[in-house]
């Protein structure tokens, strides 16, 4: 379904809010707003570093005078799936169409990227029904599970529903994370034998054996 075909287009009221791609300078506003609603589980907590690193995923809404009103992000798993996340509008800006505009901008971006399947996890499915999302079984979205759910403290007490817009993804690119082998350089035994402690270099200094022969 094209974003422009969404029934939501009729819900987005005319207003002054403008939606644009986020810039790094928006990261503090995004960080504060998203995390203001992470305590009660409405939104997934995001670190400032995470937001900076992924700031290009975000769209922000601002008033005509440039006041930050809200944000949302589109995470790309691959051509098979994208996810709307961290969508939120400041309390004083709610109900004026900013949330709808952000969502439509994210859906348009998915379309531009050629991604037909867009998912999200939410407590307020009623809002997203209007934008063409439908309820889905979360097991059909293993990428989301492996990306976020596995490490979430609410894994076994999750009160969010999974939603999808467009076809269900047929593939997944993420899987269980194995404990990685420590990425230490393995020293060759022969190499260690060539190292000796050189007291003249200071306590405990290890230098190649050849370099002590003066």
User: Closer CB to ligand COA, residue 59 or residue 120?
Assistant: 120
Tokens of 10: 């009729």
Q: Which residue has the tokens 């998912």?
A: 119
Q: With contact defined as beta carbons under 8 Å apart, do 133 and 165 qualify?
A: yes
- How far apart, in whole angstroms, are the C-alpha atoms of residue 129 and residue 196? 70
Phi, psi of 178 (to 5 degrees): -90, 150
CB of 48 to ligand COA, least distance (A): 19
Q: Is 164 in the site for ligand COA (CB under 6 A)?
A: no
Question: x/- string (CB under 6 A) for ligand COA, residues 91-110?
Answer: ---xxxxxxx----------
- Interacting residue with ligand COA among 19, 89, 110, 149 (CB under 6 A): 89
Q: Is 142 in the site for ligand COA (CB under 6 A)?
A: no
Q: Is 158 in the site for ligand COA (CB under 6 A)?
A: no
Which one, of 77, 48, 72, 89, lies nearest residue 148 by Cα?
A: 77
Q: Is 29 in the site for ligand COA (CB under 6 A)?
A: no
Q: With contact defined as beta carbons under 8 Å apart, do 97 and 17 qualify?
A: yes
- Interacting residue with ligand COA among 28, 49, 52, 124 (CB under 6 A): 124
Q: Is 37 in the site for ligand COA (CB under 6 A)?
A: yes
CA dihedral sign, ordered 159, 57, 109, 21: positive
Q: Is 135 in the site for ligand COA (CB under 6 A)?
A: no
Tokens of 88: 């939120």
CB of 112 to ligand COA, least distance (A): 21
- How far apart, in whole angstroms, are the C-alpha atoms of residue 170 and residue 69? 36
Q: Given the rule CB under 6 A, which residues bind ligand COA?
A: 11, 37, 42-43, 87-89, 94-100, 120, 122, 124, 126-127
């Amino acid at each position: 379904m094209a974003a422009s075909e969404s029934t939501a287009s009729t819900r987005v009221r005319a207003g002054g809010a403008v939606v644009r791609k986020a810039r790094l300078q928006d990261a503090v506003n995004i960080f504060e707003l998203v995390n203001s609603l992470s305590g009660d589980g409405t939104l997934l907590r995001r670190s400032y570093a995470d937001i900076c690193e992924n700031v290009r995923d975000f769209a922000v809404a601002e008033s005509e005078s440039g006041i930050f009103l809200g944000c949302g992000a589109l995470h790309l798993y691959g051509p098979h799936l994208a996810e709307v996340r961290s969508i939120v509008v400041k309390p004083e800006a709610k109900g004026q169409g900013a949330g709808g505009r952000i969502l439509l901008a994210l859906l348009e971006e998915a379309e531009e990227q050629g991604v037909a399947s867009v998912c999200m996890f939410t407590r307020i499915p009623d809002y997203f029904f209007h934008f063409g999302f439908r309820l889905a079984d979360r097991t059909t979205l293993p990428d989301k599970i492996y990306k976020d759910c596995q490490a979430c403290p609410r894994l076994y007490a999750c009160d969010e529903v999974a939603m999808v817009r467009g076809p269900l993804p047929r593939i997944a690119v993420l899987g269980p994370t194995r404990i990685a082998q420590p990425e230490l350089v393995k020293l060759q035994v022969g190499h260690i034998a060539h190292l000796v402690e050189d007291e003249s270099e200071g306590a405990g200094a290890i230098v190649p054996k050849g370099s002590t022969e003066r």
